[in-house]
Amino acid sequence: MDKRAKIFVAGHRGMVGSAIVRELQRQGYGNLVLRTRQELDLTDQRAVCEFFGRERPEYVFVAAARVGGIWANSTRPAEFIYENLAIQNNVIDGAYRAGVRKLLFLGSSCIYPREAPQPLKEEYLLAGRPEPTNQWYAVAKIAGIKLCQAYRRQYGCDFIAAMPTNLYGINDNYDPDGSHVIPALLRKFHEAKLGGQPAVTVWGSGRPRREFLYADDLARACLFLIDNYSEEEIINVGWGRDLAIAELAGLVAEIVGYGGEIVFDTDKPDGMMLKRLDVSRITALGWRPLVGLREGLQLAYDDMLRRLVFEQWHDLSPARQPGM
């Protein structure tokens, strides 16, 4: 990308979009087009079409999505399937009509079949049924991948799709019912420490394993892929290393400084037991993550504390986050 290129980051207020904007600015890209949800509703086809016709960006990062943790995914299926389908239909088709030079669509590791072999290779897409707790989100994201592939085949658009592993970082969502596991645990252990609570409850058995990537590492990967990847095939972004949720809970307790007991609520879902990405394709291109889990958790905790000084918990729970 030329440093003067006009770049639209869809979803720039959420965790992933804001990380992409930070990275673009850090690398000296100054011609960014950004719209809040109030300024441009991405589920509104006409508004999105008009926006693209008027602004004519050259590059697009699709980081806007309805995202959430396991509980939000399983209890609000209509929002997860409808809003994601609408946003990606409008943005991808609008980008094609406006002659965008390159677009990067963000999917998620949950697009892979529940029973797929580990680690998850890109070719396992659609080789089996998705995990039931997030099937609605997965089906929408798979449709987004297929849109990019179809527009490439029929219209020759340079639209690529990256599949990040579970993400965390600055600007995360801390709503207890909507959040992913890392912000949920940071908040639970922090509140338990302040309140002197003897135990913290962690959902599920603690046995599922997850891989976590710091959002700023994903942002670096997105810029890297825009410059170095132009294939129809999807591409995974992660570490290729995972840990059990019980181990993660221990690590978060240590970082927060909580010394009480950790108990597991097996009435809550485990979701996929294993979800580790095969990252050989992106590492062969020369990209690697930089922020390890312990360091990233400390940075995320510092961000949570900083935001809490100025805001209340309900302000740390945005309705729509970019996503995975």
Residues of this chain that interact with ligand GFB (CB under 6 A) are: 69-71, 73, 108, 110, 133-134, 137, 166, 179-181, 184, 202-204, 208, 210, 245, 268-271, 324
Query: Cα 191 to chain center, whole Å?
Result: 25
For 126, the token pair is 């659609």
Closest residue to ligand GFB, based on beta-carbon distance? 69
Told to judge if 258 belongs to the known catalytic residues of this protein, a careful annotator would answer: no
Cβ closest to ligand GFB, residue 10 vs residue 186: 186
C-beta of 203: minimal distance to ligand GFB in Å?
A: 3
Q: Are 159 and 274 in contact (CB under 8 A)?
A: no
d(CA 226, CA 24): 12
Give the active site residue among 29, 59, 96, 137: 137
Distance between CA atoms of 20 and 162, rounded to whole angstroms? 14
Q: Taking the complex as a whole, how short is the minimal distance between the CB of residue 153 and ligand GFB, in angstroms? A: 26
Which one, 89 or 133, has the nearer CB to ligand GFB?
A: 133
d(CA 308, CA 305): 5
Give least dist CB 235 to ligand GFB, A. 17
Q: Which is nearer to ligand GFB, 45 or 205 (CB)?
A: 205
Closest approach of ligand GFB to the CB of residue 38, in Å: 26
Report the nearest approach of ligand GFB to the CB of residue 184 (Å).
3
Toward ligand GFB, which CB reaches closer, 63 or 181?
A: 181
Q: Of the two residues 253 and 324, which places its CB atom closer to ligand GFB in the complex?
A: 324
Hey, which residues are catalytic here? 137
